[in-house]
Amino acid sequence: MGKFDHLFDKKRDGANHEVRSFLRFVIYSTSVVVLVLCFLVPDNALRLFKSLKVARQQEKQMVIMKNEISAMDKEMNYLTNDKDSLEKFAREKFGFSEEGEDVYLIQD
């Protein structure tokens, strides 16, 4: 199967049984420590990965919000500098009209 299967076969230990037993102990101990760190400790690897995922989502949301803010800034600048555009905006968004005009609002 794997490269290290012979290491766990106690029949092959022979004269090196102390060294091989020590290697098995190190492998088992390391495996237990890794499992504990990954799953049982409060600040484990799973929590870290979830936090990284949330951080990436929030960064994407920040980019979207920055784009919306820049678009709103451009629109605000456009409306404050041009009287005709401000009047058009007020008529479209809020249904403003001048005296004597009839306004028909068509809703979708």
Residues whose CB is less than 8 angstroms from the CB of residue 39 and which lie 6 or more positions away in sequence, other chains included = 45, 46
How much is the pTM?
A: 0.50
> Is the CB of residue 7 less than 8 Å from the CB of residue 20?
yes
| Per-residue pLDDT tens digits for 68-78 | 999 999 988 88
* Alpha-carbon gap, residue 106 to 104, rounded angstroms: 6
What 3-state DSSP class applies to 86?
helix
Confidence of residue 67 (pLDDT cuts 50, 70, 90): very high
* Alpha-carbon gap, residue 77 to 72, rounded angstroms: 8
> Is the CB of residue 13 less than 8 Å from the CB of residue 20?
yes
**Predicted pLDDT of residue 21:** 76
* Alpha-carbon gap, residue 71 to 92, rounded angstroms: 18
| Per-residue pLDDT tens digits for 29-64 | 998 888 887 777 777 777 888 999 999 999 999 999
More confident residue, 53 or 11: 53
More confident residue, 29 or 2: 29
| Per-residue pLDDT tens digits for 98-107 | 777 777 777 7
**CA Rg value for the chain:** 35
